[in-house]
């Protein structure tokens, strides 16, 4: 009779944890996406300019989100990650509710800062928890499912948040979409066990980054130096930063573009189509990317780069078409095609970011990854589009100015595809090194 390993949870609890943390990821992106969906109504009610909207969608969120992700990640590498995620979820959900009560730009900016503080404690600890609930060979698919929280959250925000805003206004939408996260935080804390670190890995003992002397800014620099020296890790960061620069900006401004470029087309239909295309198409693409790479990489680890590169090669032209198409129906069709390809890299990249890192700095690895990716993508992408739109609108009109801004950021996805292709050349050797340890 085989004695169960208490460090390795049973399949039932493992599945429950994956299900619940996917819901946490969904709420993470619901609260993050709402500002872009409600943007036209907020702009009109609070009398904001495009550059102010760009700050709210980009820099106001990204600054504290990225700066705090590192110290929170270190706490999560040493202390109870379930407690950290629960507190973070309650914080960002609570301040999403507060966002519906503001009366001016500064108050909304402060609420966005507070939401970002909470969300800084979400993604990296979640990825670390999942990596200790699932062995290496199952991690890509598990983290792809976690990554599905992005499109599912965005789709839910469009369908439910957009619908509530149409019926009851943008303030009620913020309140209604924030409250469920507080209840979910309580459920998470009460029902999920903190996993044993490194239970499914060869090196579950101390490594170069563990021990009482490892901490503070020196640890951050040491970890960054170690991780950046790994070619595949470095190329993933560059590729995802370039892709996020484009996708975060289009996600933040897509509702504004349809409202300006197609003013007579019913916004209720826009919310519904975007919600379904992102919620279903983007989700399916995210899962399919993880599934394909997990199967194909058994024989060829280069698929970790090839599959995302091929998906982005389809995404770029379809995105440019929907940005400039004057027929709203055709624009929505092409947007749906693009949405199905943008998430292919989520699962493969998240798995490699975890698997290439020493066990004791796994959360730090994800936090450094998101620090770089979010400063460039989440912070600068939406802000740049707002600035370009604000600059060009007086001469070329609100719609054309926004289209030019979105076109500029979309071109970075082509560069991302190239970097993923380069990464396919390095991942085989780097994976072999990890397996040997």
**Whole-number pLDDT of residue 232:** 96
11-196+214-436 under CATH 3.40.50.300, yes or no: no
Q: Give yes or no for residue 197 having a pLDDT over 90.
A: no
**Whole-number pLDDT of residue 7:** 58
**Whole-number pLDDT of residue 4:** 47
Residues 374-391, mean pLDDT to the nearest whole number: 90
The whole-chain average pLDDT of the chain stands at 88
**Whole-number pLDDT of residue 6:** 52
The confidence band for 141, taking pLDDT boundaries of 50, 70 and 90, is: confident
Q: Give yes or no for residue 284 having a pLDDT over 80.
A: yes
Token code pair at residue 275: 């919600």
CB atoms near residue 63 (< 10 Å): 16
Residues 6+ apart with CB under 8 A from 436: none
**Whole-number pLDDT of residue 152:** 87
Owner of token pair 């969608």: 57
Domain boundaries, the chain: 11-196+214-436
Residues 220-244, mean pLDDT to the nearest whole number: 93
Residues 6+ apart with CB under 8 A from 59: 379, 380, 383
Relative orientation angle of helices 231-261 and 303-324, to the nearest 10 degrees: 20
- The overall longest dimension of the chain from CA atoms, in Å, is 78
Distance of alpha carbon 108 from alpha carbon 30, whole angstroms? 17
Bigger pLDDT: 253 or 357?
A: 253
**Whole-number pLDDT of residue 437:** 63
The confidence band for 254, taking pLDDT boundaries of 50, 70 and 90, is: very high
The confidence band for 212, taking pLDDT boundaries of 50, 70 and 90, is: very low
Length of the chain: 437
Residues 341-373 pLDDT 10s: 988 998 889 889 888 888 778 777 877 888 889
The confidence band for 210, taking pLDDT boundaries of 50, 70 and 90, is: low
3-state secondary structure of 7: coil
- The mean-pLDDT minimum among 153-157, 210-214, 424-428 falls in 210-214
Nearest alpha-carbon partner for 186 in 249, 279, 76, 93: 93
**Whole-number pLDDT of residue 216:** 65
Asked if 77 and 360 touch (Cβ cutoff 8 Å), the reply is yes
Distance of alpha carbon 245 from alpha carbon 49, whole angstroms? 21
- 212-232 as b/e: b if 16+ CB within 10 A: eebeeeebbeebbebbeebbb
């Amino acid at each position: 009779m085989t004695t169960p390993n208490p460090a390795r949870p049973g399949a039932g609890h493992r599945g429950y944890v994956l299900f619940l943390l996917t819901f946490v990821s969904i709420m993470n992106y619901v609260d993050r996406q709402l500002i872009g969906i409600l943007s036209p109504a907020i702009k009109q009610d609070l009398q904001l300019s495009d550059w102010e909207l760009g700050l709210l969608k980009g820099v106001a969120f990204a600054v504290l989100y990225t700066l705090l992700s590192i110290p929170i990640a270190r706490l999560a590498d040493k202390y109870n990650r379930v407690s950290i995620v629960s507190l973070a979820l309650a914080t960002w959900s609570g301040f999403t509710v507060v966002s519906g009560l503001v009366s001016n730009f500064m108050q909304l900016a402060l609420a966005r800062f507070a939401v970002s503080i909470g969300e800084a404690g979400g993604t990296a600890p979640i990825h670390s928890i999942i990596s200790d609930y699932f062995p290496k060979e199952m991690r890509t698919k598990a983290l792809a499912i976690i990554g599905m929280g992005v499109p599912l959250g965005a789709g839910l925000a469009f369908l439910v948040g957009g619908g509530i805003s149409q019926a009851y206004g943008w303030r009620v939408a913020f309140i209604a979409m924030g409250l469920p996260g507080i209840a979910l935080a309580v459920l998470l804390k009460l029902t999920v066990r903190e996993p044993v670190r490194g239970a499914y890995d060869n090196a579950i003992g101390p490594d170069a980054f563990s021990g009482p002397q490892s901490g503070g800014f020196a640890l951050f620099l040491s970890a960054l130096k170690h991780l950046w020296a790994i070619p595949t890790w470095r190329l993933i960061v560059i590729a995802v930063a370039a892709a996020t620069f484009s996708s975060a900006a289009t996600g933040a401004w897509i509702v504004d573009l349809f409202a300006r470029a197609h003013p007579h087309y019913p916004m209720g239909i826009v919310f519904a189509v975007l919600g379904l295309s992102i919620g279903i198409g983007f989700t399916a693409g995210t899962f399919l990317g993880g599934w394909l790479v997990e199967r194909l990489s058994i024989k060829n680890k280069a698929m970790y780069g090839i599959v995302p590169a091929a998906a982005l090669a389809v995404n770029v032209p379809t995105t440019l078409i929907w940005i400039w198409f004057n027929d709203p129906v055709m624009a929505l069709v092409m947007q749906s095609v693009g949405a199905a390809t943008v998430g292919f890299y989520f699962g493969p990249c998240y798995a490699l970011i975890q698997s290439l890192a020493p066990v004791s700095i796994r959360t730090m690895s994800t936090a450094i990854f998101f620090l770089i990716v979010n400063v460039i993508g989440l912070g600068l992408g939406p802000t740049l589009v707002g600035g370009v739109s604000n600059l060009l609108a007086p001469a070329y009109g609100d719609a054309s100015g926004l289209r030019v801004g979105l076109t500029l950021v979309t071109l970075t996805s082509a560069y991302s595809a190239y970097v993923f292709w380069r990464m396919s050349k390095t991942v085989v050797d780097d994976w072999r090194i990890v397996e040997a340890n």
